[in-house]
Amino acid sequence: MNALEQLTTVFGGRYQIERELGVGGMATVYLARDRKHDRPVAIKVLRHDLSHSLGPERFLREIRIVASLQHPHILGLIDSGEADGYLYYVMPYITGESLRTRLARDGELPVGEAVWILREIADAIAFAHAHQIIHRDIKPENVLFSARHALVADFGIARAVTEAATAGPITATGIVVGSPAYMAPEQASSDPHMDHRADIYAFGVLAYEVLTGVPPFTAPTAVQLVAAHMSRAPDPLMRHRPGIPEALNDIVLKCLAKRPADRFQRAEEIVERLDAILTGPLSESMGTTEEHAVAPAKFRIAEGLARRLDRQVFDPRMIGDSLEYLDNHARSDTLVCFLPALGLDAAEFEEHLRTFPWRCVAVTPFSHEPQRNRRYALPLNDHFTLIRHFLRHVEERSGARRVVLAGFSSGADIALRFAAARPGGGARLDGVLALGCNVSKETCFVTSILARMSTRHPERLLADLRAVGDSTADLEAWLTLHTYLVSMLRKFRGTIDPLRQVAREIVAPFEGATVSPFIAWHREAAANVRALRCVFEDSETYRSFVAGLPPEPGTAAGAGERRATAALVIEPGAGHFDLARPDVVLRHLEALITGLPVAAPAAVS
């Protein structure tokens, strides 16, 4: 009989142990199936020596108190007990990742999402403290995500061990309750007067890491780390992440005060301060994690607008037709309009619209229409005219005081060139986020194929597609690129003229150019909007291009001011399609919008 079968037998068959999930300093966690209710559960089984030192009566008495905690952001207890010398407790099995996993993968979180998560954690701590329960081990490993919400786990074991320790010695087990990286000075020094404010300190350490991607202190040994917590002052968060709201910096540093009397005295105070940030003026630049209902909408092409389009190529069917878009109808002073890559439509941004905090719309250009009878071959200037009038229409309906245009891939080219062209017409445009725009003929590789794509020469198209496959560096990139191409080719088979028209105009300026036209577009767009951010994939081509750009001309003050609002960013480790991921887009929109005050008027004219 193996160890898992033995444990199943120990539990009397009520829980079928399936596999080990992890081992900690005090317990081992197992995934099991609750046979009575046919549901997965997580069972924490205390170390045998710890179980022996605690004894079942003390353990179960303390765990019963923790089981009374019922809160939406506390991972509750289902069951607990003693079986054949093993002490255990049972929790719901959460399939979502831990905060530690998220931080290890992504580093610092978007500010708006971070504040929302921290608010949920602080609310859980406040509820526990109101019931005289101290966690004693707040850290990212003990925060789990379920349906995008935070759950604080492990209130039980720390209390049981600590309370039992006060009733009798358990030092022989070698157990230390708490983690050195998150311990308050009084906890690390075993101060007998330590109270709930140690949790507030640990929350501050966690918040620091969530917002900056790094802990406030690091050291090669646990002893040195504890010494740093007891004697060193943490750096302001802005040193690691410029743009962090000062109010948020103040909250975190107050939590990290060395003396408990200098911290927040109640976790409710933290919740109140975070609520003020989430609902106050800063909420516009940070956002929340509230989801929005995304609905289709239409912008009608009236005769007056149709008369502004190029008559030589105008299709009279457009009069009375509508430009289709998606709208999240969020209440916000900021409007973000998304432009998709060639061949894609507004649906590519549906998740962005659902989860982003601002009023967001995503347009399906006529050349990208899923319905073949509604695809019109338009020159780029006509697309600019439609975008200009569409932006004015949505701005008026939303009451937005800041308007940002965001595009991905060829949509980024269009957004940048739209801003550079000074299209006028009263359209407000405060900022542009260009994700993965082209900078050379080499980066136009796929767009070039679309520009010459023809159903009359399938053998040439097939050769081009094979060349695209050969250009990818790994399997993931190959799959992503081919998913895009297959989706587009299936949609446009037989009606590719509208798409080809736009692709040709995107590629044409790069053909034969000795100096990248991107440089002029970037300079002109930066002069026309108050914030411009161009984000590129992490490839040698883009790294070399950005490194080789000459400094912008102008006076010292003016040039510095412009450079501060016209960022060129390489997204670390990102491939081209990674730039359209919602978490990446959210982070760069936050960086751009934070620098856009709502009061100053701005319009492209």
Q: Residue 578 and residue 600: Cα distance in Å, rounded?
A: 33
Phi-psi region of 425 (alpha: psi -120 to 50; beta: other; left: phi over 0): left
Query: If residue 271 lies in a helix (H) or strand (E), which one and from where to where?
Result: helix 267-279
Helix-helix angle 267-279:111-130, to 10 degrees? 150
Q: Which residues 6+ apart lie within 8 Å of 397 measured at CB?
A: none
405 strand-pairing partners:
337, 432
Q: What are phi and psi of 106, to 5 degrees?
A: -105, -15
Strands 334-339 and 359-364: parallel
- Sequence length of the chain is 605
Can you tell me the distance from the alpha carbon of 196 to that of 288, in angstroms, rounded to the nearest whole number? 28
Give the closest residue to 519 by CA, choosing from 412, 405, 589, 416. Answer: 416
Rounded to whole angstroms, how far apart are CA atoms 98 and 587?
Answer: 20
Which one, of 597, 537, 533, lies nearest residue 565 by Cα?
Answer: 533
Please check whether residue 435 is in contact with residue 407, taking contact to mean a CB–CB distance below 8 angstroms: yes
Taking the alpha carbons at both ends of the chain, their separation in whole angstroms is 79
Q: How far is Cα 280 from Cα 282, in angstroms, rounded to an integer?
A: 6
φ, ψ at 418 (rounded to 5°)? -65, -45
> Which of the residues 34, 38, 49, 137 is marked catalytic?
137
Q: How far apart are CA 5 and CA 18, in angstroms?
A: 9
Amino acid at 575: G
Q: Calculate the alpha carbon distances from 415 to 255, 279, 434 in Å.
A: 43, 31, 7
- Report d(CA 393, CA 151) in Å as an integer: 42
Q: Rounded CA gap, 62 and 160, in Å?
A: 5
DSSP 8-state class, residue 515: S
Cα–Cα distance for residue pair 396/390, rounded to 1 Å: 10
Q: Does the CA dihedral 158-162-167-173 come out positive or negative?
A: positive
Reduce the secondary structure of 399-461 to three states and give it as a string.
Answer: CCCEEEEEEECHHHHHHHHHHHCCCCCCCCCCEEEEECCCCCCHHHHHHHHHHHCCCCCHHHH
Per the CB < 8 A criterion, the answer to whether 587 and 433 are in contact is no
Catalytic residue check, 310: no
CA–chain centroid gap for 532, Å, is 20
Known catalytic residues? 137
